[in-house]
Structure 1
C-alpha cells in the first residue's frame, strides 16, 4: 500500500512540475490535428488551464500569424504551435504517376481532372514558418516528423521557447533528447492521424502507448506527454501513473463544434466501433490511423502502392475535398484514433472540463487512483 501511495505521489509531483514549467494549471494538451484543429479548439484547452496546440504544419507564415492572433483574441493563457519537419525522403514521383493513372476513372466520376499536375505541388517554406513562430512570441513549440536541427533549437531556446519533440519509439525518444527537446510527446499506436516516425521504419512505429511509456520512463530523463487512445478521465490519470507528466488528446475533441473536421467525419465518429480504424499509407503517403473506407480497400486489392509522402497527400487532396462535399464516406480520409468507440459527442469545453477535473483531483491528492468514468 505504501509503495502504491508513493507511486501516486510521484506521478502527481511530475505533473505539477510540468505545469509549473509551462505556466499552465492542468497537464492536458490538445493534439495538433492538421485540418481538424482550429484556433478556437486550441484556445478552449488554454482557457481551461491546459495547453492548446495550433496545427501550423501546412500553414503559410501569414496564416500562422493570423491563427496566433485569433487564439490571443480568445485567451491570454499559454499555448503552443506545431510545425512539421520537412521530410528527408520525398517519396516516389514515378509511383505517383501510377497512382494518378489508377485513380483516373474515379476522378472522372467525381468531376475532377483525370490528371494531377505534380509540378504544381508546393509546400510552405519551413524556414519562414519558423520565423513566423518566433516573430509571434509563442512560448512553446511542438515538432512532428523529426526534431529541430541544432540551429533551430538554439534559436528557439534563446527566445525562451519550450520545445516538445514527438516520438513513436524509444529510439526516437532518445533522438529527441539528443536534440535538446524539453519534453517528449510519445505517440502510441492507438493515436489517430499520421504516425510521427522519423528514425524508425513505418511498421516499427506502431508501438502501444503503455509499452512506450514504460521504456521511455526508464531511459529518457525528460517529461513525457502521453498521446494515443486517451479519451476518458480514467485513461488520462492512468497515463500519469504509468510515467507521463501530461496527456495529449485529439480524437476526444475531434467531433466537437470547435473542430474543423468535415460533418461527415463527425457523424461517422459517433457511430464508430473499436474496430473502425486501420493503419494505411494510401491517403497521405505516411502510415496513419484512419477510419476504414472503400478507397483504401480498393487500392489495396488492386495492388497500387502508395507513392509516399508528400506526393500521395498532394494527389489525394482535391479528391478528399470532393468526397467531403458529396458525403462520400467511402472515399474520405478520416484520421481517428482507437478511442473513437468510447467517444461521447459534446462541446470541447465540456470534454476538457471532465478530463481536467480528474487531473486536478489527482494532482491534489483527492483521487486514490484512476478516475471513475463519467
Structure 2
C-alpha cells in the first residue's frame, strides 16, 4: 500500500498496529495473527508477571516469524492509606454482598517499590527474549531503562495524549509515539496533564503533534476501518493503532459478554470512569459505573482500586453478568465486527486502497 519510516523501522508490510490491551485480551493467537497479516501484534503485559510475559513471548514465537512487540505499564508513585481502602471497601460492600462475596475480603496495599521492581524484571525479560519492539503506557521509563533497551537495539514506542507529552517522549529518546485521542477505549495514557486536559480529539491531535515532533506518529482512538486509516495518514500520521476493532475479533481473548456489549452498543453509550481501577478509562456504561458515579473521585488511585474491584469483575465474568464488568470500548462501537484478524486487516486495506484511488486518481 505504501512505505514509510515507521513501517521500515518496525519491519511491517501494513501501517496497522494492534493495541496492547492488558487483561488477557491479547492472546498469543491474536498477536501472531496480526503479525502474520502484515501488521504489528502487541502483547498487553500490563498485568502480567515477568514469568507470564516470558511464556507468552515464547509461545508467540512458535506462531509467527514476523516482528511483534510488548507493552509495559510505567509505574507511577501513589499514596493510599488504610483508611482510604476501608472507605472504598465500604462503597463496594453492597455489590460484594449481592454477588455473595465475602464483604470483608482484604489484601495488603501494594508498595510502589515492589511494583517498580516487577517492572524492571519485565524489562529484563524483554531483553533476554529478544523482543524487538517495546511500548510504554502511563509515562516514560527512567533514563537508565531507556538506555539499556536502546543498547540492545530495541525499538521504543511511547504514548501521549497531548502535544506536550509527545514532545517529552521524543526528548526522552522514543523512536516513535502513539498519540491517543479522546475517542480511545480503555485507560487514558496521560502522564503530564490532567484527565480533562488530555481529552483532545484524534483528528485535532494528529496534525498538531506532527508539527511539533520529528519521530513517526501513530494515531489511536476510534479508528476501525480504512476510512480512519486514510484520514490519519492524510493528517500526517505514519500508522494507526487499533484496540476495539481487534477486541471483537475471533482471536481476541475478551470475554464473550464484553464482545457482545460492544457489538450491540451505540456511539453514545461509552463514558469515562475511574471507578473500576482508580485511573480514568473509557468503557460502555453499565450498572457499576452508574452506582459509583458520585463516588468515583473518592476511590483510591490505580492500582489499589483495581485490586479492590478485581474479585467483583472476575466473579461477574464467570456469571456472564455485564453489570459489574469493565467493558472497555472506544467511541466507534457501531463499526465493530465479529470476524477474524485476517479479514479485518484485508478489509481495512481494500477500503483504504479504494479511497486512495477515488481521491487521487486522475479524472
* Bin for the TM-score computed over the shorter chain: over 0.9
Shift of 1:305: 2.2
Taking a change above 3 Å as real, the CA distance of residues 218 and 61 of structure 1, as seen in their structure-2 partners, is same
Aligned mates of 1:74, 1:230 — CA distance in 2: 27
Task: Kindly report structure 1 stretches of 4+ aligned residues shifted beyond 6 Å.
Answer: none
Aligned mates of 1:174, 1:188 — CA distance in 2: 16
For the Cα contact (< 8 Å) 1:99–1:304, is it kept in 2?
no
Shift of 1:22: 1.4
Q: What are the ranges of 5 or more consecutive residues in structure 1 without an aligned counterpart?
A: 1-11
- Aligned pairs for 1:125-144 within 5 A: 125-144=118-137
For the Cα contact (< 8 Å) 1:145–1:166, is it kept in 2?
yes
Q: Does 1:34 align with 2:25?
A: no
Q: Does 1:269 align with 2:262?
A: yes
For the Cα contact (< 8 Å) 2:224–2:245, is it kept in 1?
yes
Give the structure 2 partner of residue 4 of structure 1. none
Aligned mates of 1:304, 1:238 — CA distance in 2: 36
Shift of 1:367: 6.0
Give the structure 1 partner of residue 155 of structure 2. 162
Give the structure 2 partner of residue 5 of structure 1. none
Taking a change above 3 Å as real, the CA distance of residues 304 and 285 of structure 1, as seen in their structure-2 partners, is closer
1:25 paired residue among 5, 10, 13: 13
Aligned mates of 1:327, 1:53 — CA distance in 2: 27
Give the structure 1 partner of residue 181 of structure 2. 188
Q: Does 1:251 align with 2:244?
A: yes
Q: What are the ranges of 5 or more consecutive residues in structure 2 without an aligned counterpart?
A: none
For the Cα contact (< 8 Å) 1:299–1:305, is it kept in 2?
no
Aligned mates of 2:49, 2:338 — CA distance in 1: 32
For the Cα contact (< 8 Å) 1:42–1:54, is it kept in 2?
yes
1:283 paired residue among 264, 276, 292: 276
The structure with higher relative contact order (CA 8 Å, sep 6+) is: 1
For the Cα contact (< 8 Å) 1:27–1:359, is it kept in 2?
no
1:299 paired residue among 270, 277, 292: 292
Q: Does 1:310 align with 2:303?
A: yes
Q: Which range is displaced more, 256-265 or 302-311?
A: 302-311
Aligned mates of 1:57, 1:323 — CA distance in 2: 21
Give the structure 2 partner of residue 343 of structure 1. 336
Q: Secondary structure at the match of 2:324?
A: coil
Q: Secondary structure at the match of 1:119?
A: coil
> Could you tell me the TM-score, scaled by structure 1's length?
0.90
Aligned mates of 1:120, 1:89 — CA distance in 2: 11
For the Cα contact (< 8 Å) 2:219–2:237, is it kept in 1?
yes
Alignment root-mean-square deviation, CA = 2.0
Aligned mates of 1:18, 1:30 — CA distance in 2: 15
Shift of 1:202: 1.6
Give the structure 1 partner of residue 69 of structure 2. 80
For the Cα contact (< 8 Å) 1:23–1:78, is it kept in 2?
yes
Taking a change above 3 Å as real, the CA distance of residues 272 and 217 of structure 1, as seen in their structure-2 partners, is same
Give CA deviations for 1:177-202 in whole Å, capped at 9, x if unaligned: 11100001001111100001111112
Give CA deviations for 1:216-246 in whole Å, capped at 9, x if unaligned: 0111111000000000111111101111010
Q: Secondary structure at the match of 1:114?
A: coil
Taking a change above 3 Å as real, the CA distance of residues 161 and 169 of structure 1, as seen in their structure-2 partners, is same
Aligned mates of 1:151, 1:258 — CA distance in 2: 36
2:49 paired residue among 45, 60, 63: 60
Give the structure 1 partner of residue 91 of structure 2. 102
Shift of 1:148: 2.3
- How many residue pairs were aligned? 356
Taking a change above 3 Å as real, the CA distance of residues 125 and 303 of structure 1, as seen in their structure-2 partners, is closer
Q: Secondary structure at the match of 2:359?
A: coil
For the Cα contact (< 8 Å) 1:283–1:333, is it kept in 2?
yes
Give CA deviations for 1:287-328 in whole Å, capped at 9, x if unaligned: 000110111111224677221111110001010011112222
